[in-house]
Structures are given as structure tokens and as C-alpha cells.
């Protein structure tokens, strides 16, 4: 009986030791898992923050692009108006020149080119 009691004590001691090791291992795993979860949550926050920042940056760039597009269209319209003014001025000069030549021929009876460069004498 004493022998059985001694075996039971040894078995109990061994089981208590295994239980303590298992509990310690469980605590280590629990701590490691908690650290991983906290790390993942921090990383998630960073990703969300970056996503929001990139969204704002994208919206700002889109607004800048739209503004530049609007300015380019306004500039193109201005250039078209200037081009039309230049064409109109050329036509006026051409018609004035033609009109002056016509009146010169009408009043002098000679062409303008035949009198240019000649001195009276």
C-alpha cells in the first residue's frame, strides 16, 4: 500500500509538472498571439490612413488636372480669337492695298509698280 501511495505521489508530481509546463506554454502562445494581433491592428490602421491620404491626393490631383484642362481650353479659345483677328487684319491690309492700287491706277492711269522707285526728273 505504501508502494502504491509512493507511485501515486510520483505520478501526481509528474502530472502537476506537465500541467505547469502546458500552462506556461499556453501563456506564451497567448502572449505571442496577442502581440501578433496588436501588430496586425497597427498595420491595418496604417493602411487605412494611407488609403485615405491617397484618396485625398487623388482628388487633389484630379482637381488640378481639371483646372489645367479648363485653362488650356480657355487659352485655346483665346488663341483662336487672336488667330481670327490676325486673319481679319491681313484681309483688311490686303483689301486696303488692293484698294489703294486700284485708286492709284484709276487716278494716274499707270500701275503703282511702274512708278515706284522712279524719281521725277
Report pLDDT digits (tens) over 41-82. Answer: 999 999 999 999 999 999 999 999 999 999 999 999 999 999
In this predicted model, what pLDDT tens digit does every residue of 3-31 receive, in sequence order? 888 999 999 999 999 999 999 999 999 99
Residue 8 located in a structural domain? yes
Q: How far is CA 36 from CA 11, 30, 44, 49, 56, in A?
A: 37, 10, 12, 20, 30
pLDDT higher than threshold 90 for residue 112: no
Domains in the chain, number: 1
Residue 29 located in a structural domain? yes
pTM of the model: 0.50
pLDDT higher than threshold 80 for residue 39: yes
Smallest CA-to-CA distance from 25 within 14, 17, 37 is with 17
Residue 120 located in a structural domain? no
What is the distance between the alpha carbons of residues 110 and 25, in angstroms, rounded to a whole number? 120
Residue 11 located in a structural domain? yes
Residue 119 located in a structural domain? no
Residue 121 located in a structural domain? no
The domain containing residue 40 runs over which residues? 2-114
Residue 61 located in a structural domain? yes
Q: How far is CA 102 from CA 5, 107, 109, in A?
A: 142, 9, 10
Amino acid at each position: 500500500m505504501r508502494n502504491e501511495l509512493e507511485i501515486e505521489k510520483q505520478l501526481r508530481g509528474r502530472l502537476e509538472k506537465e500541467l505547469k509546463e502546458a500552462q506556461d506554454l499556453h501563456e506564451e502562445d497567448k502572449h505571442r498571439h496577442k502581440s501578433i494581433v496588436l501588430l496586425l491592428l497597427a498595420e491595418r490602421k496604417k493602411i487605412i490612413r494611407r488609403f485615405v491620404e491617397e484618396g485625398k491626393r487623388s482628388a487633389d490631383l484630379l482637381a488640378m488636372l481639371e483646372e489645367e484642362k479648363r485653362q488650356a481650353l480657355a487659352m485655346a479659345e483665346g488663341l483662336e480669337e487672336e488667330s481670327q483677328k490676325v486673319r481679319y487684319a491681313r484681309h483688311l491690309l490686303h483689301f486696303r492695298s488692293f484698294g489703294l492700287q486700284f485708286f492709284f491706277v484709276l487716278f494716274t492711269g499707270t500701275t503703282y509698280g511702274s512708278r515706284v522707285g522712279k524719281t521725277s526728273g
